[in-house]
Every structure is written in C-alpha cells, then in structure tokens.
Chain A
Amino acid sequence: VHAQDAVALAQVPTLLPLLGALLQEAPRKSPRRRLTRGRPLQYMLELYRQNADPHGRPREKRIFSANAVRLVRPAGRRALPPRGPWYVQTLDFLLEPNRDVEQLVRAAVVYRPHLHLSRSHLSCHVEPWAHKSAILLGGGSLGFALPEAWAERDLTNYIQQQVWPPKGKRVLHIQVRCQQQERTEVGLGWRQALATDTTFLVLYFNNTFKNVPQTGLQELVLRNPGGADLFSLARRVR
C-alpha cells in the first residue's frame, strides 16, 4: 500500500461516515462457512424477518426500540465435571462496545431450555457468574417473538451496571446449568450438546452516525491540496 493511499484510507471514516462504518464492520476476508449457517444465523434471520420486509424496509410496527441488534458468540467455554444430575459449563463473552455511536438499550442471554440427547434430555437455565452476591437482572424492554425452542434471560441492568466498560474490553461470564431429567445414562455427548451454539448473547443498541464528525469539502481541500478527489477516494476504498 502506498503511503498516500494509507493516508486517504485513514481519512475515510471522517470524510464518508457511511463508508467508514461499513469498513469497520466488514470482515477482512470472507467469513468462514460455518458463520453463514447454523442456529445463531437462523435466530437472527427470524429477528430480521419480523422487523423488515424482503426488500429490507423496516416494518411500520417496530418490535423493539433499537435500530441495531448484535448476536455475540462465546469467546471461551469451560465444562465442569458432572455432579449428580447437574451438567455445568461457563461461557465467556467478550464485550467491546463503541460507546460513541452505540447506546445499549437491552441485553439478553438466549439459550435452549431443553437439550435432547440420544438417550436422555437436559433441562437448562443460565445466570451471570459473578462473585457479587446481589445481581440485578431484568430492566430491558421487550425483545422480539422468540423462535420456538429458545428462551432468554434479560441482563440489561446487570450489564449496564456491572460489565459495560466505559472504554476497552470486558468479559461477561455466564454459567449454563443443565439438569438431567431421567435417571438414564447421559454419556459423553452432553459436552458436545452444550458446545454447539446453544447459548449466545444478544445486545440491542440505538446506533447513530450523528456523533461521527463530518469534515466539509473546503476543509478537505485545504488539508489535502490537489487530493480532494472524493470519487477516486471512494474508488480506492472499493
């Protein structure tokens, strides 16, 4: 990359807020195939269908009071040894908000309350895994109509008060506790059943470009004489 191009690319978020936002969000390379299928994507497609028509126009009756919803997968997981009928794992979610443009309005952990194994089934629930004795849950507005087989736990208050960092990264620990329902052999399959996208975090934001500073064309010309060709800049970004 030529130095001039690098400078031009660095200016893009300021000059063209939409392209800047898109560049920040776009993956560096094609997403792995597993991301383009599976339960999390099905969940988000259902959310999309409830809130937008097939052409992408938001429906008149909005289901939730947010204009952005992010599904976050666990960055790490640890399964504890089973104890009696209990099968427990801890999930770590990495939170890295951009508070300048993202205002958190709701947060929930989505999970499957019933996991069916080959010879048994588990009944599950989730809770934040913290040392503090009193955890204030709830606090969010209604989400969308959940697809069948999914349940959610509202963590808006907890995340806003305990976890949401002013800047930088923070890790949210969630414990998934599953109880065996029959006195049958669960076997080793429970680890795999719990590990296959059965729990994720859903964050609802009010997202805006309004806080992103916009530079006038005149200012651009003064700062970069002879280089104010927005068209070629956009082409280089492309």
Chain B
Amino acid sequence: QVGPVRSEAPGQSLEQTQCSLHPFQVSFHQLGWENWIIAPHLYSPNYCKGACPRVLHSGLHSPNHAIIQNLINELVDGSIPRPSCVPYKYTPISVLLIEASGSILYKEYEDMIAQSCTCR
C-alpha cells in the first residue's frame, strides 16, 4: 500500500526542487589561500541541492537502503527523513602552490569537484 503522492512546494517547479547538481564557483582569495596557491585562481566545487523524490529513478544511482528509507518515511514513520541529496561522483583539481620551504609544488587533489548527485 502506497500513501498519497505529496505535492511539491507551491510556486516551485519539480526541476527547481529535485535533487540536482548546482554550479558554484569560489576564488582562492575568498578562502584566504591566495598567498600560496598560484593557480588556478578560481575553484568550482559545485554542490548538490534539492529534495529526493519518492521514486528514486536509476539516474540517481541510489543504493537499496535509500529506497527502503523512502518506504519507511512513507509507510511507517514520517519522522524518519527521506534520503539526502549528496554528491555521487567527484573529479580532482590540479593546484600550483608555494610550500613553506619555498619549493613550488604541482599537485592533484582527489574528490574536489562534485560532478553528479545521488540520493542516499
């Protein structure tokens, strides 16, 4: 038995509220790191935001647990939240920086840019 479909918030389209990747850019100056990070000047970590749908389509790559948690929220206990919208895949970023010793370092940092989102 499946409960009634919940309507989305008034005035907001499904696209606006559903879990999705949002572009976001920050400068290393804003982070206070411009003294030692030479390149790049801008960093685009992006972020995931939005509600997780009741039916988790395959494009969201949700694990079985998320499907069960949705069912629990709907059928058993409404105080158990729906799955959260979080990053699924990341990409690295290459940084050129000056070390404390005065050496110049090129370095790739893993998992620095959100590339897609999931509900889990």
Q: Is the CB of A55 within 8 A of B36?
A: no
A78 to B91, CA, bound (A): 45
Which of A18, A28, A68 makes the CB contact (< 8 A) with B105?
A: A68
Once bound together, how far apart are the Cα atoms of A96 and B94, in whole Å?
Answer: 23
Q: Closest A residue to B39 by CB, please name it.
A: A48
Q: Chain B binding site: helix, strand, loop or mixed by DSSP?
A: strand
- Interface 9-residue window, one of A36-44, A113-121, A125-133, A151-159: A36-44
The answer, yes or no, to whether A27 is at the interface (CB within 8 Å) is yes
Given A27-B99, A31-B102, A55-B44, are A45 and B39 also a contact pair (CB < 8 Å)? Answer: yes
Residues from chain A with Cβ under 8 Å of B103 in the complex: 70-73
**Shortest Cβ distance from A62 into B: residue:** B108
How many CB-defined contacts (below 8 Å) exist between A and B? 94
Residue on B with the closest CB to A54? B40
Closest-by-CB residue of A relative to B97 is A25
Range, interface on chain A: 35 or more
CB distance from A145 to the nearest CB of B (A): 15
- Report how far A54 CA is from B93 CA in the complex, Å: 11
Per-position contact with A for B41-61: 1 when CB-CB < 8 Å, else 0? Answer: 011100000000000000000
Indicate if B68 sits at the interface (CB-CB under 8 A).
no
B2 at the A interface (CB under 8 A): no
Q: CA of A71 to CA of B91 in the docked complex: distance in angstroms?
A: 25
* SS of A interface (majority): mixed
Q: Which of A15-47 contact B (CB under 8 A)?
A: 18, 22, 24-28, 30-32, 35-36, 40-41, 44-45, 47
Could you tell me the distance in whole angstroms from the C-beta of A121 to the nearest C-beta in chain B? 28
Query: Which residues of B lie under 8 Å from residue A68 when comparing CB positions?
Result: 105-108
Contact surface of B with A, Cβ cutoff 8 Å? 32-33, 35-36, 38-40, 42-44, 91-110, 113
Residues of A within 8 A of B (CB): 18, 22, 24-28, 30-32, 35-36, 40-41, 44-45, 47-48, 51-52, 54-58, 67-73, 96, 207, 209, 238
